[in-house]
């Protein structure tokens, strides 16, 4: 345990610190932009990013993942802020954290594994597109100097690793392009144009709202939505970082950690947040693998905005736009597009539907929920067809024998019932269900339906071979007359 903790914190200190530095620089304009989306002062997003990043470094379940103020969460806050004010946002953010801790204590975070690969791919591709689209306002209508700086920064980002990987190329690009702009005085947008940065440390602050049922009614729906969207984005991002780094993460710990961070954030003047896929990709592709990178990103962010804010304000947005374009291109799963002809149609539909829905609505939860529902429907249709009813030839006149295999539940019940031959006048019917898994009440009802059909024709029916779980389920909810079944049959 001690060795593992040491590895998570000090296994890669130089790369963690360098990667965290790049992340901190990229966090500033994002946090300011998300504050504007939510309708609050830039300090709220910047304080949130500092508090959440530092907190999640200690209590999160995915080393090297970056959590801070995010656009997905900010969009959900705008109406509450507009109608009730900032203090209600602080209260809603705090309650969001409480909900997330509850979900973590119930150990529900692990169920993210039921999100299919197709949904994951759609989620990643959609976020890559949204990251790129978010850079367009900085490019549309810009002067030629801005385009030249973006191209130059991209050339450094992709070219510098050919010389050395000792220093993350995005950091080199930001430093070089910023130096050129400061030396030449080029007229381009800078971080300072995004908004005024705070000048003091975040102070402890309890939300100034009445502790009444009315307040709870106002903030609870927003808090629940924030908790769900935040955990969804965080856990899906954790899965992505797991794949990139080929290391596991603790989803339940991450769920609880997000809750703790979102309780502390509003207590120090910040809003709720979650994992950031763009910054997390920047972090790990810059070489980070440990918790130190996340901690340093938060600490260095505070240092930048309080101590070096005059210098930070002069960083050209073109350099940061280039970094985010690199993230967008690197995040998009290009192989998923190239392999579409060879991919099963249902998987392609799920991936495309997820991607399109997220991009059109700018709502991660809607796209992922649609993808999960489609995956479930396609899965049930596929599994529902696996029920096989085989008639076994017998020399005895009036005797029918069937062998059934597969999964009998609501999606396969109709196929099961329709597979039996009800013509003629059999006197004895034997149904061998040794190889059947009986899952639910609809499956039991399907067995009842078949048995009663034959009995109405005057036949004796034997249902044989059910396992203990199936026999228990049938005995509890089955309606066919158990007295007609011999010992060892369903009873």
For residues 210 and 218, give the distance between their C-alpha atoms in angstroms, rounded to a whole number: 11
Residue 406 has a pLDDT of: 85
Q: In angstroms, rounded to a whole number, what is the distance separating the alpha carbons of residues 327 and 62?
A: 20
Q: How far is CA 328 from CA 134, 204, 441, 463, 487, in A?
A: 10, 36, 47, 58, 65
At 320 the pLDDT is 86
Choice among 119-123, 288-292, 374-378, 486-490 with the minimum mean pLDDT: 486-490
The stretch 429-433 carries a mean pLDDT of 88
- pLDDT band per the 50, 70, 90 thresholds, residue 423: low
Give pLDDT, residue 422.
63
Average pLDDT over residues 345-361: 91
Confidence of residue 491 (pLDDT cuts 50, 70, 90): very low
> Is 181:188 a contact under the CB 8 Å cutoff?
yes
Residue 459's closest CA among 400, 394, 392? 400
Q: What is the pLDDT of residues 257-286, one digit of tens each?
A: 999 999 999 999 999 999 998 889 989 998
Short-list 266, 223, 227, CA closest to 48:
266
Averaged pLDDT, 50-58: 97
User: What is the C-alpha to C-alpha distance for residues 80 and 58, in angstroms, rounded to an integer?
Assistant: 30
Task: State yes or no: pLDDT of 58 exceeds 90.
Answer: yes
Helix axes 117-139, 364-384, angle to 10 degrees: 160
HSE-up (13 A, CA, CB side) for residue 151:
5
Confidence of residue 482 (pLDDT cuts 50, 70, 90): low
């Amino acid at each position: 345990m001690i060795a593992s903790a040491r590895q998570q914190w000090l296994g890669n200190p130089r790369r963690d610190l360098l990667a965290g530095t790049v992340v901190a620089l990229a966090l500033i304009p994002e946090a300011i932009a998300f504050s504007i989306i939510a309708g609050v002062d830039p300090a709220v997003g910047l304080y949130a990013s500092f508090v959440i990043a530092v907190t999640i470094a200690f209590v999160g379940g995915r080393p090297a993942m970056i959590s801070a103020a995010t656009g997905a969460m900010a969009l959900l806050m705008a109406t509450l802020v507009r109608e009730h004010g900032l203090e209600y946002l602080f209260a809603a953010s705090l309650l969001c954290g409480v909900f997330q801790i509850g979900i973590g204590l119930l150990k529900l975070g692990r169920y993210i594994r039921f999100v299919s690969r197709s949904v994951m791919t759609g989620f990643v591709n959609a976020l890559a597109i949204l990251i790129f689209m978010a850079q367009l306002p900085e490019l549309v209508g810009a002067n030629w100097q801005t385009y030249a700086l973006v191209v130059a920064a991209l050339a450094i980002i992709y070219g510098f690793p050919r010389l050395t990987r000792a220093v993350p190329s995005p950091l080199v690009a930001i430093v070089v392009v910023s130096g050129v702009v400061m030396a030449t005085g080029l007229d381009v947008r800078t971080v300072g144009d995004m908004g005024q940065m705070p000048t003091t440390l975040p102070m402890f602050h309890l939300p100034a709202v009445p502790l009444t049922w009315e307040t709870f009614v106002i903030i609870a729906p927003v808090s629940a939505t924030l908790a769900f969207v935040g955990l969804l984005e965080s856990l899906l991002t954790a899965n992505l970082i797991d794949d990139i780094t080929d290391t596991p993460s603790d989803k339940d710990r991450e769920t609880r950690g997000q809750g703790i961070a979102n309780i502390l954030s509003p207590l120090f003047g910040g809003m709720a947040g979650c994992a950031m896929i763009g910054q997390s990709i920047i972090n790990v592709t810059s070489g980070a693998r440990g918790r130190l990178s996340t901690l340093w990103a938060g600490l260095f962010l505070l240092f930048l905005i309080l101590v070096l804010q005059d210098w930070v304000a002069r960083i050209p947005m073109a350099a940061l736009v280039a970094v985010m374009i690199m993230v967008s291109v690197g995040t998009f799963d290009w192989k998923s597009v190239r392999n579409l002809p060879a991919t099963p149609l249902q998987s392609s539909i799920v991936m495309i539907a997820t991607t399109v829905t997220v991009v059109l609505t700018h709502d991660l939860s809607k796209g992922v929920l649609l993808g999960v529902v489609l995956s479930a429907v396609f899965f049930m249709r596929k599994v529902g067809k696996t029920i096989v009813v085989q008639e076994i030839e017998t020399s005895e006149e009036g005797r029918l024998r069937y062998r059934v295999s597969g999964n009998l539940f609501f999606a396969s019940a109709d196929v099961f019932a329709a597979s039996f031959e009800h013509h003629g006048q059999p006197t004895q019917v034997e149904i061998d269900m040794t190889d059947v898994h009986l899952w639910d009440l609809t499956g039991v009802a399907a067995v009842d339906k078949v048995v009663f059909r034959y009995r109405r024709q005057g036949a004796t029916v034997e249902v044989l071979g059910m396992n203990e779980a199936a026999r228990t389920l049938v005995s509890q909810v089955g309606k066919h007359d158990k007295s007609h079944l011999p010992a060892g049959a369903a009873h």
